[in-house]
Amino acid sequence: MSEGLRWARSVLHEVAALLTLAALTAGVTVGGLLLHRPAWFLGVFGVVLLLVVLGEGAYRVWREADAKPTAAAGNADADAVWLSEQLSAGNELLASWPGKPRYNATEEIHEAYKWEHQTQEGLAARLPTHSGHFGVEVGFSPDWYSDSLVGPERGYLRRRIHRLAEINERYGRERTK
């Protein structure tokens, strides 16, 4: 119903604009004839009126085209930057995880948990449609589930980073549509 009302309002706005233009043209023509002005005067006035109308239309189209990307892109770009920062932070955690056998990685596990929690909360707040994909555990081969050198926690972090990269890729494709 609201879309129908918006459409009707836009149609009425266009009809009112055309009626105003016709009234101005008729007023100039009748006024010129009543004041006994020559034909060239009416032609010049008509051309000036046409230039004003075309100029106003061009300005409005330019303003709308200029305003749309900045409003939408500002928020979208902030989300894209956030996703990139989270990916970088996750990759840094993974790279800093020592690959020594039987290494007690308590600190790394704690940092990975904090990163995962911040990422999950950020996705829920910024990109709720993608937040469910972050924790999905399907389609990975057994080598993704544990890292033979340092245990399953590092493999879990790798999977979360991989999922965030997929979300980033999907989000990028959505933004370009």
Mean pLDDT of the chain: 79
pTM value is 0.52
The CA–CA distances, whole Å, from 25 to 13, 48, 50, 59 equal: 18, 11, 10, 22
Look at 58 and 68; give whichever has higher pLDDT. 58
Residue 165 burial (CB count, 10 A): 14
Instruction: Give the model confidence (pLDDT) of 107-150 as tens digits.
Output: 888 898 999 999 999 999 988 888 888 877 765 555 555 555 55
In angstroms, the CA 132 to CA 38 distance is 74
Region of poorest pLDDT, from 63-77, 83-97, 119-133: 63-77
pLDDT at position 27 is: 78
pLDDT at position 147 is: 56
pLDDT at position 143 is: 57
pLDDT at position 70 is: 52
Q: What's the half-sphere exposure (Cβ side, CA atoms, 13 Å) at 50? A: 6
Q: Residues near 42 by Cβ (< 8 Å), separated by ≥ 6? A: 28, 29, 32
In angstroms, the CA 142 to CA 136 distance is 15
pLDDT at position 100 is: 62
Total count of residues recorded for the chain: 177
pLDDT at position 82 is: 92
Angle at 57 between CA 53 and CA 61, to 5 degrees: 170
Instruction: Give the model confidence (pLDDT) of 141-155 as tens digits.
Output: 555 555 555 567 777
Closest-CA residue to 87 (of 173, 172, 147) = 172
pLDDT at position 40 is: 76
